[in-house]
Amino acid sequence: MLSDIWKRPWLGQSLFEEVDREFAEAEDMLNRMFRTIRDTVPGASTSTDLPYYYGYQMTVGPDGRPRIREFGNFKPAARGLVEQSGVRQPLVDNVLNEKENTLRITAEMPGVNKEDINLNVTDRYVTIHAERGDKKYHADIPVSVDLKESSTKATYSNGILELKIRLKEASKAKGKAIKVE
């Protein structure tokens, strides 16, 4: 009886035929969009071997506020078109561990060697840049805590870069007791 549900007409067609039609329409729309980009955007790549990807990473910070970060190798542009970029922004995740007093940053950057990676850590930003052949990555990661730049440890294995950075110790406020008269 349950198997008969899938065979029942749904808007004049079976459920599977309707879903198949929806997917075909979506594929046609995407093909039209990429043809329009190729034909109308100056300097747009006509190569089909480059992957196009774009996304958002949403996390909740230690202060409870949501944080949204974009990543990918193209970004939406005017009139719904896209701009291709040779430089990809890697998918990055960061975790603040208050017990260990560290910030751990993980970035996905396949296709490069550890010698190709350049890192710069300041007290407010971590910059990651890597380049090998046609693989190019760049990310400027703002941080909301004070970092000890000299304590940074970085490892790279199987396309994953992992940074571990110690936080600066909070300065203890010195004060003087005041007697109330």
Q: Quote the CA–CA distance of 24 and 12 in Å, as a whole number.
A: 18
Query: Which residues, 6 or more positions from 118, have their beta carbon under 8 angstroms from its beta carbon?
Result: 127, 128, 129, 130
* pLDDT score of 1: 46
Query: Could you give the CA distance from residue 65 to residue 82 in angstroms, rounded to a whole number?
Result: 30
Residue 118: the pLDDT is 93
Q: Which two tokens stand for residue 148?
A: 């000890």
Which residues have CB under 8 Å from 36's CB, separation 6+?
81
147 in Cβ contact with 164 (< 8 Å): no
Which token pair is 40? 């109308």
Each of the 181 residues of the chain gets a pLDDT tens digit; together they read 445 555 555 555 566 777 788 888 888 887 777 777 666 655 555 455 556 667 777 877 778 888 777 777 666 655 555 555 678 888 888 888 888 899 899 999 999 999 999 999 887 788 999 999 888 899 888 888 888 888 889 999 999 999 998 888 765 666 777 788 7
Cβ-in-10-Å burial (0-12, 13-18, 19+) of 108 comes to middle
